[in-house]
Amino acid sequence: MDVNDKIGALDFPGEIHSAGSTNLIVSTLDDVINWARSNSLWPLSFATSCCGIEFMHTAAAKYDFSRFGFEVARASPRQADMIIIAGTIVNKMAPVLKRLYDQMADPKYVVAMGACAISGGPFFYNTYSVVKGADHVIPVDVYVPGCPPRPEALLHGLISLQGKIKAGLSRDQIRQSAFVSQ
């Protein structure tokens, strides 16, 4: 098996040329940085409702999102670069969510998971205290629909975010293509 075949399995953005006993990697620095960034996203969970259970299920053994580069789930926003909002956001929690987002290191990404995080869900119409979607508080990069969304849908959303980062899309371009089909 050739070295390029091994690296090709990882979708490495470049080519490896053999030069005698050494190998030479040819690529652009931006492509390598985007590849590394997309394969090492560290999520911070903001789980306030039933979607949080589905998020935990996605991190468990059957679906195991660590296979895709989301290995290190963080409890501190200073060590995370992606926040997964899973559940209802009420007016009292909105400033807390904004503070967590502001404390994250750049570049930071936001995934809104479930009907409550996307649009307030069924609770928005029955009460005055529910925020009508996370995008009213912080900018959202990927929306994962469902009530609650299946673990496969969350994995699809996270892999879509990885693809957008690998492609070198800017934050505005990622947000313009934010919806993920279920």
Higher pLDDT, 52 or 2: 52
What's the token pair of residue 50? 């039933």
Any idea what the CATH number is for the domain that residue 81 is in?
A: 3.40.50.12280
Mean pLDDT over all residues of the chain? 79
Average pLDDT over residues 173-182: 61
DSSP letter, residue 129:
S
Same domain, 84 and 162: yes
Average pLDDT over residues 11-32: 75
pLDDT at 106: 84
* pLDDT value at 58 more than 60: yes
Please choose, from the candidates 138, 101, 106, 111, the residue with its C-alpha nearest in 3D space to the C-alpha of residue 55.
111
pLDDT band per the 50, 70, 90 thresholds, residue 99: very high
Same domain, 112 and 170: yes
Is 182 inside a domain boundary? no
Q: How far apart are CA 143 and CA 181, in angstroms?
A: 9
Note down the domain range covering 23.
3-28
pLDDT band per the 50, 70, 90 thresholds, residue 10: low
Same domain, 81 and 22: no
Contacts of 59 (CB under 8 A, 6+ apart): 65, 66, 70, 73
Can you tell me which residue has the tokens 């496969």?
152
Q: Any idea which of 35-49, 90-104, 131-145 has the lowest mean pLDDT?
A: 35-49
Average pLDDT over residues 83-102: 90
Same domain, 94 and 166: yes
* pLDDT value at 131 more than 60: yes
Same domain, 104 and 155: yes
Cβ-in-10-Å burial (0-12, 13-18, 19+) of 63 comes to: middle
Same domain, 12 and 88: no
Is 33 inside a domain boundary? no
* pLDDT value at 48 more than 50: yes
* pLDDT value at 88 more than 90: no
pLDDT band per the 50, 70, 90 thresholds, residue 175: low
**Contact of 76 with 100, CB cutoff 8 Å:** no
What's the token pair of residue 128? 């005055």
Tell me how many domains the chain contains.
Answer: 2
